[in-house]
Amino acid sequence: MKYIISILAISFLANLTFGQDFKTKFDQYCQENDTTQQLNTLKEWEKADPKNAELFTSYFNYYFLKSRQEVLSLSTEQPTGESLSLEDSTGKTAGFLGSQIMYINEPLEKCFEKIDEGLLLYPNRLDMRFGKIYVLGQTGNWDRFTEEVLKAIRYSSKNNNNWTWTFNEPREGGKDFFLSSMQDYQLTLYNTGDDNLLVNMRTIAEEILKYYPTHIESLSNLSITYLLTGEYDKGIEPLLRAEELDPTDAIVLSNIAQGYKLKEDKAMAIKYYEKAAKHGDERTAQYAREQIEELKK
């Protein structure tokens, strides 16, 4: 029995080393921007070790990079990033020449197909999940972005946040790291400035709270999606739940005060700004005192 186990262990280590060698070659060709050798390496790798986890992530990277296309664009408004100002005969700015990243659909979908194949074999690989979410965000596909975030949340309840990362190594941090990342994704939606995506943000917050009902950050995020749409009572309610979990959280207390201020309930707003001043740092306390003075005028 020990002999059989030893043989299996040697075989596993050999396959791991084999996969690392292919990945090293692939990464080198990526640095050299040699797409022909990248694909040749991937095909050789697939023949030798078709179920290697890093093969799927490498295919994912290959097709994603292949899908990206930088194009020049001419516009009358200055684009984000670097651009060239164009002047007319009088010296006035007539337009701007800048670059824009476009994505070609066919290789982009192959990129997703490959990572999905990998996730079927390695559902605990959080880097695979996060990689797909990242690309969906980069391409502005917010509905699919949201759905992949929801899938990750649901699966976290099945594997108890026992995630793995590159080369199937355990990902330290478990639950805390996962929830921190979920917070980042909600902020990504918020930072688009698109009010239509508040629904997506709300859906993610609600899904997190199904499995992690004491996650104060998601209670706050849920609140924001209502406060920004003028539904003040619905916005205040999750914040009051957060206060029950931590009565000294100055951010929560300040947000409750802001909710009541927006609702034009001055008495309750003052009450919570006083709490925020008591439990917050000096900056928070100063802001709260200023708000109280304004409300008392």
Residue 276 contacts residue 284 (beta carbons within 8 Å): yes
Mean pLDDT (the chain, rounded): 87
What's the whole-number mean pLDDT along residues 141-149?
A: 97
Q: What pLDDT, on the 0 to 100 scale, is given for residue 14?
A: 42
Distance, first Cα to last Cα, the chain: 83
For residue 1, name the pLDDT band (cuts at 50, 70, 90). Answer: very low
For residue 84, name the pLDDT band (cuts at 50, 70, 90). Answer: low
Q: Check whether 74 has a pLDDT greater than 60.
A: no
Q: Which of 134, 142, 139 has its CA nearest to residue 115?
A: 134
SS3 140: coil
Cα 166 to Cα 30, 86, 188, distances in angstroms: 17, 46, 24
Distance (Å, rounded) from C-alpha 290 to C-alpha 276? 12
Q: Which residue has the higher pLDDT, 111 or 98?
A: 111
Distance (Å, rounded) from C-alpha 295 to C-alpha 297? 6
Q: Could you report the per-residue pLDDT of 196-250, keeping only the tens digit for each?
A: 999 999 999 999 999 999 999 999 999 999 999 999 999 999 999 999 999 999 9
Q: Could you report the per-residue pLDDT of 203-212, keeping only the tens digit for each?
A: 999 999 999 9
Q: Check whether 283 has a pLDDT greater than 70.
A: yes
Q: 258 Cβ partners below 8 Å, 6+ apart?
A: 227, 269
Buried b vs exposed e over 44-73: b needs ≥16 C-beta within 10 Å?
ebbeebeebbbbbbbbbbbbbebbeeeeee
What the block records as the tokens of 259 is 């909710």
Q: Could you report the per-residue pLDDT of 17-36, keeping only the tens digit for each?
A: 445 689 999 999 989 989 99
- Cα–Cα–Cα angle for 87, 92, 95, rounded to 5 degrees: 50
Sheet containing strand 68-75, edge to edge, reads 68-75, 93-103, 83-87
Please compute, for residue 265, the number of CA atoms within 13 A of its CA located in the half-sphere on the CB side: 14
Q: What pLDDT, on the 0 to 100 scale, is given for residue 68?
A: 85
Alpha helices (runs of H) in 32-141, residue ranges in sequence order: 35-48, 53-67, 105-121, 126-138
What the block records as the tokens of 108 is 């982009």
For residue 76, name the pLDDT band (cuts at 50, 70, 90). Answer: low
pTM of the model: 0.84
Q: Could you report the per-residue pLDDT of 49-63, keeping only the tens digit for each?
A: 999 999 999 999 999
Distance (Å, rounded) from C-alpha 44 to C-alpha 64? 20
Q: What pLDDT, on the 0 to 100 scale, is given for residue 191?
A: 94
